Amino acid sequence: MTARSTNHVVLPIPFKPHRLDGLSARLLESHYENNYGGAVRRLNAIEARLAALDPATAPGFELNGLKREQSIAAGSMILHEAYFDALGEQGSGSGGDPGGDAARDALAAAIEASFGALARWRAEFGAMGKALAGGSGWVVLAWSARSQRLVNHWAADHAHGLPGGQPVLALDMYEHAYHMDFGARAADYVDTFMRNIAWQRPAARLHAARAVPASPAPHAAADAGREVGVAALRSALDDATAAPLVLDVRLPDDRQRSGQRLPGTDWRDPQQVEAWAAALPRDREVVVYCMYGFWVSQDAASALRKAGVKARSLQGGIASWRAMGWPTQPIAPC
């Protein structure tokens, strides 16, 4: 007899289905049991099959077929949990905009910071759902640890999501989510869903998501004392009164191979810093760059600081500048 696999267990439905406004208990119970429960049951079955498979000998199509189905079932489970979490009984604080306690106020503030205004978020989220009428998929309000903001993202299926995004609110646009009550009137379903959002649980989801440190944190912020990021340098160059002096300190081979430089920048030999440091201004910031922002420019900036120059290196070097699509120009002859 095969061991029973129950690695994943359904979460309880977090509201009394007959108390929602405009969504029937029959629809919600069917959705919970057949579609959400179905995803959890399917995921357990798939993972039991995977556990019994020898990846060294299994045909690739069998292994990858199960892996694809695992992603779909796991995505369905997770998004359905965010969907049911979003709904609440009348009188439990559902409807309207988030607010009323610290967690819901924090969610409202995060939406305003990310979208400009609650109304703007609501208009975009609802319109995205209505645009999926006649098709299928999800609309997800997710916290992006990468961008440190909330985003509305579209998902064509259960396995289609924002990498690293934590679902805060999910709108199910598969027909099984509304056809029983609304027929083809998907827009009415979207409006009804929005009316039944119980903000305390999405607010708790956001609170938990924000506890995860930003990733990739160490790389995202330049060490302000020693490095400057490419965006900050570009802004500084736009300010004619405080623009730093930017110098190319790449190794000669790297410079020739690239053939490009930051606009208007002269080259200085990174192995002869002491020879040219004395000629630099002491009352103006100096930024030195190399190919990728590693030791060549960091060592040059360090040597300049020792010589009394207000110097920093460009984080990411000319490679990051070019990756942003910002202008460069051909190198000048040495």
Instruction: Give residues in contact with Fe ion (CB under 5 A).
Output: 35, 172, 174, 177
We find the least distance from the C-beta atom of residue 161 to Fe ion, in angstroms, to be 15
Question: Toward Fe ion, which CB reaches closer, 35 or 92?
Answer: 35
We find the least distance from the C-beta atom of residue 186 to Fe ion, in angstroms, to be 13
We find the least distance from the C-beta atom of residue 153 to Fe ion, in angstroms, to be 17
We find the least distance from the C-beta atom of residue 121 to Fe ion, in angstroms, to be 22
Question: Toward Fe ion, which CB reaches closer, 39 or 111?
Answer: 39
Question: Toward Fe ion, which CB reaches closer, 130 or 310?
Answer: 130
Question: Toward Fe ion, which CB reaches closer, 140 or 318?
Answer: 140
Question: Toward Fe ion, which CB reaches closer, 47 or 157?
Answer: 157
Question: Toward Fe ion, which CB reaches closer, 12 or 325?
Answer: 12
Lookup result for tokens 């409202």: 108
